[in-house]
Structure 1
Amino acid sequence: MDLQLTGKRALVTGASRGIGKAIALALAREGVDVVIAARNLAPLTATARELAQATGRRIAPLTVDTGDDASVKALVEAAVRELGGVDILVNNAATPGGAAPAATIAQATTAALLDDVNVKVAGYLRTAQAVAPHLVKASWGRIINIGGLAARGTGHYVASIRNGAVSSLTKNLADELGPHGVTANVIHPGGTRTEKTTLEAEARIAASNTIGRIVDASEIAWLVAILASPLSGAINGETLAAGGGTPKVIGY
């Protein structure tokens, strides 16, 4: 299927490795030029070189601290200069699993909560605020936020709070920007295979979902590409679980 993405321009945060890198690769394979952003330039540069060689698309590495207003504004301005505009925003920058243990109320700290929320929730808001005027001006765009299935379960106070907030943020964006041709949706991955996943983690995750195996980062990336497509305009403001199915839970 032709996703009609050739020539589109994307900004993907948290893209030097893991799910973000897989997303950038999937979009580039569909003909998208991509700015990849993260904190550290060295791994970003290596990833940009790898993806450009694999796809033949323009992959530009730019550093950002999504916890800082000025850094995010500078990123978006630089991305627009690099690509000539931005059509697709994928927010993925966050601390995997949360900044600190918070399985119990005693373990949860306001410092960890505020740090995580600043980088992930407020960071997603900052990036959307900076990109949205460009999408509205073009009367077309896609915002895809990567959350996490901790939003739908207990066991980590901070992770549950931050990922639940991502869905709330995204629905607000969808309702406001939808009339301008811009959609916004959330993907909540569960445990996902990346470069750092151990065999022990794979077995544990496989035993916790209904497909009996771990979901690969490339599968999350495929879903992002679908939502980024002009063919996906009927989907707006939705939260999509992508963790291989949660046993004994009915979502409706």
Structure 2
Amino acid sequence: MAVITGGTRGIGLATARLLAAEGADVVLVSRNADEAVRVADDVARTTGRRVLGLAANTTDDAAVGAMADAVERDMGGAHILVNCAAEPAGQKAVPAPSEAQWASLASHMDTKVMGYLRCARALLPGMRRAGWGRIINVSGLGARRTGDVVGTIRNVAVVALAKNLADELAGTGIAVTTVHPGLTRTEKVDAMLEARAKAEGHSTAEVEASMTQNLLMGRLPTAEDVAQVIAFLASPLSVTVNGVAIDVGGGVRGSINY
């Protein structure tokens, strides 16, 4: 049984659909209760699996605890956690590092780093009882480049959190990994491409081509592409993968990471 935070759109939703199609029961977590229920009903209808929509703000200890209690009561506990709830990046002008605002950094850290930890901490007891579990943290390639100091710090911190948890859980059957998406075709990115194409007088394909010249993949990855890697990491087939971060951005020309 899989819990996916930020599960009602983008990479989270694509992952929910794929895991359900592969036979998992799923809990979709969103800040919006109505949206969570609506999307969960749709995924259940199209996959035939049991899908529950729950509301929880992952910056709130009590809300996360209540979510975990509901997962235990209604679904029998979680074996897989996909942490995907985060404040969107790239939606506004990026300040210079010396001008970054503490309030912005604190908010991103509370949601993406501490929020991931809250959810892991709340769901780990069930995984420990089962003697098996997978925690996959969705971070971002901002961890591997400069240009957005808040994005870099929050994404590096997610990797550090995952590795520390992986070391702590060694020998329990629970693995913790991170995936680093880059710019990915989601609802918001599709809207951005269309707006830019209209403003520039080009087609969306031309705009995408101009943005992917440095990608080995030759196009932007889709949310479904990223979900395929997450599904592998969530499965028993990933037994040799633990405590590491995996680039799922389509491959960057000239970059060596090791």
- Shorter chain as normaliser: what TM range? over 0.9
Within 5 Å, give how 1:1-252 maps onto structure 2: 9-97=1-89, 101-198=93-190, 199=193, 200=196, 202-252=208-258
| Contact kept in structure 1, 2:77 and 2:126, CA below 8 Å | yes
Alignment partners' CA distance in 1, 2:153 and 2:93: 13
2:141 partner amino acid: L
* Cα RMSD, aligned residues only: 1.5
2:105 partner amino acid: L
Runs of 4+ in 1 over 6 A off after TM superposition: none
| Contact kept in structure 1, 2:97 and 2:148, CA below 8 Å | no
Alignment partners' CA distance in 2, 1:204 and 1:110: 34
| CA shift for structure 1 position 106 | 4.2
* Deviation readout 1:81-113 (Å, 9 max, x if unpaired): 121111000000001216864341244100000
2:138 partner amino acid: I
1:228 partner amino acid: A
Structure 2 spans left out of the alignment, 5+ residues: 197-206
1:148 partner amino acid: G
| Contact kept in structure 1, 2:77 and 2:123, CA below 8 Å | no
| Contact kept in structure 2, 1:99 and 1:112, CA below 8 Å | no
Select between 128-137 and 92-101 the one with higher mean Cα deviation. Answer: 92-101
Alignment partners' CA distance in 2, 1:182 and 1:98: 33
Alignment partners' CA distance in 1, 2:48 and 2:156: 37
Structure 1 spans left out of the alignment, 5+ residues: 1-8
1:235 partner amino acid: V
| Other structure's SS at 1:79 match | helix
TM-score, normalising length: structure 2: 0.91
Larger Rg: 2
Alignment partners' CA distance in 1, 2:28 and 2:226: 17
Q: How many residues align?
A: 244
Select between 44-53 and 233-242 the one with higher mean Cα deviation. Answer: 44-53
Alignment partners' CA distance in 2, 1:55 and 1:178: 34
| Other structure's SS at 1:196 match | helix
| CA shift for structure 1 position 35 | 0.4
| CA shift for structure 1 position 132 | 1.2
- The corresponding residue for 1:4 is none
* Deviation readout 1:61-81 (Å, 9 max, x if unpaired): 000101111111111111111
Alignment partners' CA distance in 1, 2:210 and 2:99: 23
| Other structure's SS at 2:150 match | helix
